[in-house]
């Protein structure tokens, strides 16, 4: 199925709104990450914001795909971090498992995979893992709120 055609006004407005929204989402993720003690948090959130805000009608930008993919990847990262394996083994196993689940569930949202890697290389298992996952989901909620606002503000194709 082809995506809907954009009007000339949408062609000019959507990139501006997406850029401003992406900057706001990244700033929000940075604030959440710094408060929670995770300076790496903005990386996957900024990538998610680009997908969600630049192409809000895309399958990868749908709230179901965004939330479930991030949740699956956070769980995979938490499990990978808890394995008694070197990161060089744990990362491909966790990323492969997360990718298999999100592909099978048809909730592909590629930026979420970054959480899996971050949790294994930068986050200690246990409560810290849960704190990172909570902070990440809060930041993703911010991105989805911006998506909803973008969809309300974007002119309809008939404008």
- Which pLDDT value is given to residue 157? 56
Question: pTM here?
Answer: 0.81
- Which pLDDT value is given to residue 56? 84
Q: State the pLDDT confidence band at 92, using cuts at 50, 70 and 90.
A: very high
Q: State the pLDDT confidence band at 35, using cuts at 50, 70 and 90.
A: confident
Q: State the Cα–Cα distance between residues 156 and 30, nearest whole angstrom.
A: 32
Q: State the Cα–Cα distance between residues 138 and 153, nearest whole angstrom.
A: 23
User: 16 pLDDT exceeds 70?
Assistant: yes
Q: State the pLDDT confidence band at 126, using cuts at 50, 70 and 90.
A: low
Over residues 53-72, mean pLDDT: 90
């Amino acid at each position: 199925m082809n995506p809907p055609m954009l009007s000339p006004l949408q062609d000019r407005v959507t990139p501006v709104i997406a850029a401003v929204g992406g900057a706001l989402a990244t700033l929000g993720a940075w604030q959440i990450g710094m408060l929670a003690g995770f300076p790496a948090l903005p990386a996957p959130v900024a990538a998610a914001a680009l997908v969600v805000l630049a192409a809000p009608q895309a399958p990868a930008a749908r709230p179901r795909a965004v939330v479930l993919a991030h949740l699956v990847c956070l769980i995979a990262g938490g499990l990978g971090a808890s394995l008694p394996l070197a990161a060089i083994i744990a990362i491909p196993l966790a990323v492969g498992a997360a990718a298999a689940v999100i592909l099978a569930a048809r909730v592909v949202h590629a930026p979420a995979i970054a959480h899996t890697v971050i949790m294994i290389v930068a986050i200690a298992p246990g409560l810290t893992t849960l704190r990172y996952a909570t902070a990440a989901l809060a930041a993703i909620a911010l991105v989805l709120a911006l998506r909803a606002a973008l969809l309300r503000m974007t002119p309809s194709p008939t404008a």
